[in-house]
Chain A
């Protein structure tokens, strides 16, 4: 069965909206992702997100060892144009990117300005596994008291995220997706703390 660009994208969007409005909530877009039958070098769930978010009105940046090939592919599928890190509206950090790229993206991506804080990038990160293990503690709008998440990433990026988002309303919003097509979000309003045992 093929992916339905109207209905599957709509159901996936609703789950993404839940995640963005309730940081730390984990939703699954496996049902939609399983309908992708194109041979691609990145997660099916990431492609679902691309179909949902990209078109000729916005730009993207692929962070991966296969950047050139994948960028051309994405452009053909979505008509979106690729731009550099500082200008791109959507930055995709794929599974095979260098481990320290997340930190670099968090530093260089555009965070909007005071008059237009919405003109900031959205970062999509492919990770091995998302779970609700108590690795990180989350607080802020959308969270009743507190939430927990484990993203299976090194923690060096937390400092950089903190520095970027401290200038609220400017900041970056991040979407994580894993091999099992789970998604979760960290909008710029969320405070992320390392859990101390």
Chain B
């Protein structure tokens, strides 16, 4: 009779997975994917932004599977994203042609095209609505019917696809520096690992994929004193952007021959941040720097924090930790931070034994020394 290995590990894992499923099903109720897609817009937008995979349906499946745990849901989507072949890059999307749903500026009382409040929690009172407990589908459909008929009677003159950028207005006045277009090909950090010092395209990509809480925390720290910035929201837009691709086999493809592949909802923020610029002869000039933030879905706080951090990482003042690109960029990814954190739960007894041996060895040396 030979010796065989004890297969405890496999059985333990199988049971653990069963127990996890039990937790999701124990109340005898399951969530409907359509229901999640319809009613969990906020969580879906957060997830698609952090996983950088734009699909509300896939996000809804991930949310169901993860029981609403955003760390797990983002993990699921990112892993799924890894299996998808990346075939094309889109044409540059011009956000000035965004089909606006919401558009505000804190820098001016009024702006060409107007302050369009759109759908936002900003003006709601955060009072828990207990009527939602008994909300019925009929009630919902009735409300919807009435809303649609009210809206149909409105006569809106505004061309929501061509609202001018507040930034352009300031540029025309000469209050904001104009730059040469930098048409350098952006680096895709999901295909090539980041190298320091980074290009701006890498920073923006890492920020937009960042864990919402982490990005907001660091933006907050920058505002509070660890960043020396005093930003104002120049413009915040939420709306849909159409996306186009050109023929991949042709070297030169005219835009009119492009293929339209769909549209995405994005939140775009341009922050105006006054900064001191050194001129010749020791003089200093006050200028507006622009902090840019953009996210999939409606993620306003994150986009604003991203704009703040964008400007921080352009300024690179060594005094402030929020302006240190390695510190900011290497610690805001949800999958990486939670993965490494949770790896501490893995067995470490060999490394621990090794350290124990070191400590015992040096202690022996100490004892010998003390005896002498």
Chains A, B in direct contact (C-beta < 8 Å): yes
Interface status of B248 (Cβ within 8 A of chain A): yes
Partner of B248 from A57, A79, A116 at Cβ < 8 Å: A79
What secondary structure prevails in chain A residues at the interface with B? loop
- Once bound together, how far apart are the Cα atoms of A79 and B192, in whole Å? 17
What secondary structure prevails in chain B residues at the interface with A? loop
Question: Which residues of the partner chain B approach A57 to less than 8 Å between Cβ atoms?
Answer: 191-192
- Once bound together, how far apart are the Cα atoms of A86 and B195, in whole Å? 22
Chain B residue at minimum C-beta to C-beta distance from A75? B249
- Once bound together, how far apart are the Cα atoms of A79 and B191, in whole Å? 15
Shortest CB distance B197–A (Å):
12
Within 8 A of B (CB), among A78-99: 79
- Once bound together, how far apart are the Cα atoms of A79 and B85, in whole Å? 13
What 0/1 pattern do residues 61 to 82 of A give for CB contact below 8 A with B? Answer: 0000000000000001001000
Shortest CB distance A95–B (Å):
28
Shortest CB distance B25–A (Å):
37
Question: Interface size on B (CB < 8 Å)?
Answer: 5
- Once bound together, how far apart are the Cα atoms of A112 and B249, in whole Å? 30
- Once bound together, how far apart are the Cα atoms of A116 and B192, in whole Å? 14
- Once bound together, how far apart are the Cα atoms of A76 and B247, in whole Å? 12
Partner of A76 from B191, B192, B195, B249 at Cβ < 8 Å: B249
What 0/1 pattern do residues 106 to 126 of A give for CB contact below 8 A with B? Answer: 000000000010000000000
Within 8 A of A (CB), among B155-200: 191-192, 195
Question: Interface size on A (CB < 8 Å)?
Answer: 4
What 0/1 pattern do residues 86 to 125 of B give for CB contact below 8 A with A? Answer: 0000000000000000000000000000000000000000
- Once bound together, how far apart are the Cα atoms of A79 and B250, in whole Å? 11
Chain B residue at minimum C-beta to C-beta distance from A81? B251
Question: Which residues of the partner chain A approach B192 to less than 8 Å between Cβ atoms?
Answer: 57
Chain B residue at minimum C-beta to C-beta distance from A76? B249
- Once bound together, how far apart are the Cα atoms of A116 and B195, in whole Å? 10
- Once bound together, how far apart are the Cα atoms of A82 and B248, in whole Å? 15
Chain A residue at minimum C-beta to C-beta distance from B249? A76
Shortest CB distance B262–A (Å):
22
- Once bound together, how far apart are the Cα atoms of A79 and B247, in whole Å? 12
Shortest CB distance A119–B (Å):
10
- Once bound together, how far apart are the Cα atoms of A116 and B248, in whole Å? 30
Question: Which residues of the partner chain B approach A79 to less than 8 Å between Cβ atoms?
Answer: 248
Shortest CB distance A117–B (Å):
14
Shortest CB distance B46–A (Å):
30
Shortest CB distance B253–A (Å):
15
- Once bound together, how far apart are the Cα atoms of A192 and B257, in whole Å? 54
Chain A residue at minimum C-beta to C-beta distance from B248? A79
- Once bound together, how far apart are the Cα atoms of A79 and B249, in whole Å? 8
Shortest CB distance A181–B (Å):
28
- Once bound together, how far apart are the Cα atoms of A79 and B248, in whole Å? 8
Shortest CB distance B196–A (Å):
10
Chain B residue at minimum C-beta to C-beta distance from A79? B248
Question: Which residues of the partner chain B approach A76 to less than 8 Å between Cβ atoms?
Answer: 249
Shortest CB distance A162–B (Å):
30
Question: Which residues of the partner chain A approach B248 to less than 8 Å between Cβ atoms?
Answer: 79
- Once bound together, how far apart are the Cα atoms of A13 and B249, in whole Å? 27
Question: Which residues of the partner chain A approach B191 to less than 8 Å between Cβ atoms?
Answer: 57
Question: Which residues of the partner chain A approach B195 to less than 8 Å between Cβ atoms?
Answer: 116
What 0/1 pattern do residues 222 to 255 of B give for CB contact below 8 A with A? Answer: 0000000000000000000000000011000000
Shortest CB distance A137–B (Å):
38
- Once bound together, how far apart are the Cα atoms of A116 and B196, in whole Å? 12
Shortest CB distance B31–A (Å):
37
- Once bound together, how far apart are the Cα atoms of A57 and B191, in whole Å? 8
Q: Which 5 residue pairs are nearest across A and B when measured between Cβ atoms?
A: A57-B191, A76-B249, A79-B248, A57-B192, A116-B195
